[in-house]
Chains A and B, each alone.
Chain A
Amino acid sequence: MKNLMGAELSESERSLVECYQGLVRVLNDGKDLAPFERRNALKAVAALWQVVNGLDLDPGNIYEIGA
C-alpha cells in the first residue's frame, strides 16, 4: 500500500490503516451497537484518524459518523 506521496507503508502502518477503515465501516453500518460500543469506537476512530492523516492518506472529515 502506497500513500498519496508515493511512499510505501510498512506492515505495521498498513495494519493501523486497516483498523481505522474497519472502525469507520462499523460505525457507518453498525446500527445495533450499544452505547459503550459506539462511543468507545468513536474515540478510537478520532485517534486513528490522526494516524491515517499523518500517513498521507487524506481521510477527509468524518462528522457524518459523529466524530
Chain B
Amino acid sequence: MKESPYWNPRHETMPRDQIEVLQVRKLKNLVAWTERQVPWHAARLKAAGVTAESIRSLKDLRRIPLMTRDEWMQAQLEKPPFGPLLAAPEDVAIRYHLTSGTTGRIPLQVLDSMKDWEWIAEMWCYGFWGFGVRPADIVFFAFSYGTFVGFWGAHYACEKIGCLVLPGGNMTTEARVKQILSMKATVVCSTPTYALRMAQEAKTMGVDLATSPVKRLILSGEPAGSIPATKRLIEEEWGAKAADTAGMTEVGTIMIFECETQPGGTHIIEDHYIEEVVDPATGEPVGYGELGERLITSFGRGMIPVLRYRTRDLVVRVPANTCRCGRTFDLYEGGIRGRVDDMKLVRGTNVYPRAVESIVREFKEIDEFRIHLYTADGRQDEIEVLVEIPGSEDANADRILAELGKSLSQAHEGLRFGVKKVENGSLPRFELKAKRLQDDRIVIGTAGERRATA
C-alpha cells in the first residue's frame, strides 16, 4: 500500500461540507461536556442561552461568549493555581506547563492527562508528517525542555512517528551544531530566530550547514517562520526546506502547520479546532483574504475546555484550494501575521515589528537587529533600527544602512527611521521567542499619553 502523505487521510481530504458536519457534532459534544463539568463555563453559557441541544450549525457558535486571556488569568488569580476551569480532577494529570509569559501579567498554568498529552503529540504529527518527516529521520530539538510547553509535544510526536529523537536541551549553540553534524540529524526544530543563530555559530566554526544532512527545519514560536525573507534566509543558510507551525499553551499544541507543498501559508487542523477570524475591534467575522484576529475553539484537551478564545493573533484566512496538496483544510496565508497588540503608532504611522523584520531580512549581511522606540526632546516619538553587520567594510556598511533606512521609510508612509550599526555581538540573541522591540518612549504616540513611570 502506498504511503499516505497525510497523517489522517480521511479527515485531511474530507469535503468541506463534511468538515462542517464533523465540527458541529464535536462542538455539541464539547458544549455538553463543558456545561456538565465546568461551572465557570456553564454559568457563562447559560447566561448566553447556549445549550448543547441548541447547537445546530456553525452559526450557533457565534452565540457562545468569547473567552479572553484576562478572564483566564483573573480566574487563576482568584482560585490558584488553575482557576475554576478544570473539567477533570487534578490527580489524573501527568503534565504541568506554563505559557511563555510574552503577554499578560502572569503566566497561565495548565494540566494535561495521559490522553490529552497523547493528543498534543497527535496534533504535531499532522505537521511533521505533512512536511515529509518519516520514521527514518533523525530529529534534533534545539529546545530547553522546561515548563514552557514549546516543542515538548513535537518531541513526543517524533517518537510516535518512529524517528530517532535528539533532545538538545541545556546545550550551548556550538554544542548543538556539533551534535546536529555528528549525529547526522536530518530534521532540526527551533524558533526561526534560533535557526539563524545556529547558522551564525556554524559559520564561526567554519561549518557550511548547507552541506550537512539536514533536509528540513520545523519552525515554531515566532511569526518569522512565515516571513518570506526570513524563511528564505534560513533555507539558504541551512540548505534545507523550512516549515512554519504555530501553537499556543492555552490549547497545548499546534493548530496550524505548513505542508510539504509550501504554499506560503499554514493549514488549519480543522478536524480538531474551529478557527474563526474576526475584526478585533468589533468582533464581527471577516471574510477570506481579510486581516483579522483568530478565535479558537479546541476539541482536544478535555481537561481545560477552550471555547471561542481570543488569541490576539492576526491572520488572513484563505480557502483550502489555495494549496495544491489535496488537503481540504483552509489556510492562514503568511501564517500568524503578528499580534493585535504588536502594532506601534509612531508619529501617526502604524509600525508592525513583522513588517520591519521582513525588510531587515532582505539584507543578508545583517546578523541581528533591534527596533528601538524612544522619545526625543521629551516630546517626539523616534524609531531606530540597530543592526549588526559583521565582516563588512565601512563603505559597504554605510551603503547597507542607507538602503535599509530608505526601504523602511518607503514601506511606512515616509516615516523617518534612524538606522545604526552597532558592535558585533552587542545585541541579545534568543533561543525561544525573540524580543527585538524595545519601547523606551516616555510619550506614546507624540500627542498621546505619557507613561506613568516617566
Contact = CB atoms under 8 A, between A and B. Distances in A.
A54 B12 CA distance: 11
Given A63-B92, A63-B113, A58 B119 contact: no
A34 interface: no
Contacts of B21: 5
Chain B interface SS verdict (over half): helix
Interface string A42-67: 11011101100111101011110011
Contact of B118 (A5, A49, A63): A49
Interface in B21-63: 21-22, 25-26, 29, 33
B11 A54 contact: yes
Contacts of B8: 54
B115 A7 contact: no
A5 B18 contact: yes
B88 interface: yes
Contact of B114 (A46, A53, A56): A46
Contacts of A60: 29, 33
Given A46-B114, A67-B113, 18 more contacts: A42-B114, A47-B160, A54-B122, A54-B271, A55-B10, A56-B10, A56-B22, A61-B33, A61-B115, A61-B302, A62-B115, A63-B88, A63-B92, A63-B113, A63-B302, A63-B303, A66-B114, A67-B115
Interface of B: 8, 10-11, 18, 21-22, 25-26, 29, 33, 87-89, 92, 113-115, 117-119, 122, 160, 271, 302-303
8 contacts: A4-B25, A46-B114, A46-B115, A54-B122, A58-B26, A60-B29, A63-B113, A66-B114
Interface of A: 4-5, 7, 42-43, 45-47, 49-50, 53-56, 58, 60-63, 66-67
